[in-house]
Structure formats: C-alpha cells, structure tokens
Amino acid sequence: MATNFLIHEKIWFDKFKYDDAERKFYEQMNGPVAGSSRQSTGPGASSGPGGDHSELITRIASLEVENQSLRGVVQDLQQALSKLEARLSVLEKSSPTHRATAPQTQHVSPMRQVEPPTKKAATPAEDDEDDDIDLFGSDNEEEDKEAARLREERLRQYAEKKAKKPVLVAKSSILLDVKPWDDETDMAQLEACVRSIQLDGLVWGGSKLVPVGYGIRKLQIQCVVEDDKVGTDLLEEEITKFEEHVQSVDIAAFNKI
C-alpha cells in the first residue's frame, strides 16, 4: 500500500543531481565561487535548507559575474559611441555644406501601351488649303539669290587675292662635271654645245676647265634649275646627246636654294 501510494505522489527524488549539474555549469562559465565548495553527497543533503542556501549563493554569484560583464560591454559601447560622435562633429565642421542624402526611391508606374493616333482622311477642303500654301515664296527666292550672289562675290575675291600672292618656286643649284673623250677634244666647242641646251626653268651660270690628268681637262659648269620643270636626269640626257664631244656627265654638287 505504501509503495502504491508513493507511485502517485509527485516527489523529485534526484533533484540533487540537477543541482550539481547546474552548479558545475556555472562554475565552468564563471569560475569557482566562494562558499560553493561544499557539495551534497546524498539525497538528503540538498533537500535541506543548507542545500537551498548554497544554490541561492551560486546563482547570485553567477548573476553578479554576468552583471559585471554586461557593464563592461556597455562601457565599451559608450566609448565607441562617443568616438563616433566626436568624429561626426569634426566632419560636419570641415564640410558644413556636405550632407549625405539618402537616395529617393522612385515609384515607377507600369507602362501602358499607347495606341498610335489614327489618321483621318483629308477632306477636299484641306487639300485645297495645302495647295494654296507656297512653300517657296518670292521672299525666300530673293534671299536665296542674294546669298548665292554674295557667295560668288566672295569666291571671286578670294581667287583674285590668291592669284596676286607670289608663289614660291623651289629651285636648286647644280654643279656639273662634263668630261671629254681625250685631250684633243675642243673644250670651247664642248661648252658651246652644253650652253646651247635651252629649257624652261634652266639658267646656265659660270664655268671653268679643271685638269684631270694626261693633258685632259673637264668642263665644270654651274646651272640653276626649277625643281618642278627640270631634273638632273633630263640634264644628263640632253648633254650626252653630243656624243662627239662628251664622254660622261657627273653631278659634282647639288644644293637647294
């Protein structure tokens, strides 16, 4: 009968196990607490007022430790907040006009399909009105004629001004060495043959006879040519045509003027 009676009673027989586990947990979290070294060794040790007192002391100690840690966190947050406020005040003083504005969100309404406007059939009266409109009126024609006349006048003035401006002609000074066949060649006749060459843009200059060796002398003659009209190849071709007197032609000097 006693056993059946205890079965229906709600008695916490192993409460001391849970108390020990809770105490060990807080000791591991916060370290050993003074006065908590006494442990209950039997089922009756924690059920008395001494066990309840030690459990209360353990909980109070753990709460104090948690309170201290929370105070430290709060102090750190207060210091960080004060630093941020000081930095913000410095930034506001340095750039008072600059203020960060949050981007405004725009509400976009859904697009609606726009139908193209329908063309109405033109009435005969409207067609007559369009025919009456003179797109190229007399005033516009007169303005176009005046603009064309002014343009032609300016072009003519520009052409006359350009024609009066002196044109720079590129010229070159050439020194030619004309060699005879032998010492019996008539050098005066050879020079006369060379000077007989007349070309547009060619002007003959001074000349002299220069001894070569073995009694042979060559004709050294100066000329000025216009680059666009007379070239060195043309000069050599014209001089070497006198085969009876001329053996070869060489360019001794060539200078731009």
pLDDT score for 209: 93
Q: Which helix (H) or strand (E) holds 176?
A: strand 171-179
What phi, psi does 52 have (nearest 5°)?
-65, -35
- 217 within 8 A of 211, measured Cβ to Cβ: yes
Residue 221: closest CA among 204, 203, 245: 204
39, burial (CB in 10 Å: exposed 0-12, middle 13-18, buried 19+)? middle
Task: Give the pLDDT confidence score for residue 142 in this predicted structure.
Answer: 77
Instruction: Please give the structure tokens belonging to residue 252.
Output: 């001794």
Q: Tokens in use for 69?
A: 């840690």
Report field, pTM of the whole predicted structure over 0.75: no
Q: What is the pLDDT of residue 19?
A: 83
- The pLDDT, as a whole number, for residue 93 is 84
> What pLDDT is recorded for position 25?
85
Query: Domains plus CATH for the chain?
Result: 171-256 (3.30.70.60)
pLDDT at 41: 43
What is the C-alpha separation between 214 and 247, in angstroms, rounded?
A: 16
- pLDDT for 220 equals 94
Please count the residues of the chain: 257
Q: What is the mean pLDDT of each run of 10 residues along the chain (257 residues)?
A: 53 74 82 48 46 81 88 90 90 66 50 55 53 55 84 88 76 94 91 93 93 91 92 92 92 91
